[in-house]
Amino acid sequence: MAKGIGEFLMETVGEAVAEAILTLLACALLLGLGLIAYLSWSFSPRLTVAGAGLLSLFLAHGAWSVFRDPARGRGRRGLAAVTATGFALAAAVEVFLLFYGTGCGCL
């Protein structure tokens, strides 16, 4: 019985520590993204808006290439593969921030 209690406590403490680490990473990521936005805006607002527009086009092309039906017998190549990977990475970061960034307390 003591062994079962010890395993339960180790699992509970491990989950709490993992949750705290993931929340800390999400807060650091939010802080880093905010700092990048602030510094780029203070350097050049026009370049910031242009960069945001280019990033939006990149992600839109990635979403389009992920959700469209590829031609028969052909996989994604070149630009479509790069933008699809970028879109998938951005979506994964968004889901991570949705789950762990909301408990950050810095919002």
Q: Given this model, what pLDDT does residue 75 score?
A: 65
Whether residue 60 has pLDDT greater than 90: yes
pTM, rounded to two decimals: 0.73
Q: Given this model, what pLDDT does residue 20 score?
A: 85
Q: Given this model, what pLDDT does residue 76 score?
A: 67
Q: Tell me the mean pLDDT in the region 12-18.
A: 88
Cα–Cα distance for residue pair 15/19, rounded to 1 Å = 6
DSSP secondary structure, 54-87, as one string? HHHHHHHHHHHHHHSPPPTT----THHHHHHHHH
CB 96 within 8 A of CB 23: no
Hunting for tokens 């699992």 — which residue is that? 11
Q: Tell me the mean pLDDT in the region 17-22.
A: 87
